[in-house]
Amino acid sequence: MQKVKEFMSEIFASKYYFSPYNFTCILCKQPIVLNATVECGHTFCEVCITEHLLENDNCPICNRNIKKTDFYPNLMLDEIIVSLIDKNEIFKYLSRKKFWMEIKENSKVMENVKVGEKIDIKDEEGIWRKGVVKLVVGGEGYSDLYVHYEGWENQHDEFLPNYSNRLAIAGFYTKN
């Protein structure tokens, strides 16, 4: 048991094991920001993998089919990445993180939505689609939106609250 502990200590002390290279997003080639681990266990920037999955349905590393866009964040991993970033690069990293967090936060509540407005909708399989608001029911602040998926038959239309994590501003998750 002592040899195992010594071996693990050597690995964790190794500069290679905890080098910034191991925490670089394969898609943007920069340190991972707002990490998102997909079904197969690979980790990317949340924004990068979201954009990748708009046009692809596979993991960019192992090519495994990925159907859902539900990602698994790891807050400890974010802290490790920040601790490994060179002092000269930390401002750039934190600026990227702040920018993406603001965009992500601003996309959460669909306020003042009007009938006919185009939006992004996550379907029941977790894939972001283009949609349009057909009806708005409710009062100030919170309302229910009757949404239609563009290119789909009306039978798929549904009511969603304006604070649903399945709604976002048009073009946030889909390409216009």
Q: Pairing relation of β-strands 143-149 and 128-138? A: antiparallel
Highest averaged pLDDT of the listed ranges 89-93, 115-119, 143-147: 115-119
Q: Tell me how far apart the alpha carbons of residues 65 and 74 are, in angstroms, rounded to a whole number.
A: 22
Check whether 17 has a pLDDT greater than 60.
no
Q: What percent of the chain shows pLDDT beyond 70? A: 79
Specify the pLDDT at position 60: 94
Specify the pLDDT at position 102: 76
Specify the pLDDT at position 110: 72
Q: What percent of the chain shows pLDDT beyond 90? A: 24
Under DSSP, is residue 97 helix (H, G, I), strand (E, B) or coil? helix
Q: Tell me how far apart the alpha carbons of residues 10 and 14 are, in angstroms, rounded to a whole number.
A: 6
Average pLDDT over residues 68-82: 79
Confidence of residue 106 (pLDDT cuts 50, 70, 90): low
Check whether 93 has a pLDDT greater than 60.
yes
129 vs 5, residue with greater confidence: 129
Specify the pLDDT at position 26: 93
Mean pLDDT over the full length of the chain = 81
Q: Which helix (DSSP H) or strand (DSSP E) does residue 123 occupy?
A: none
Specify the pLDDT at position 4: 57
Name all domains of the chain by residue range, CATH numbers in brackets: 2-106 (3.30.40.10), 118-169 (2.30.30.140)
Average pLDDT over residues 20-48: 87
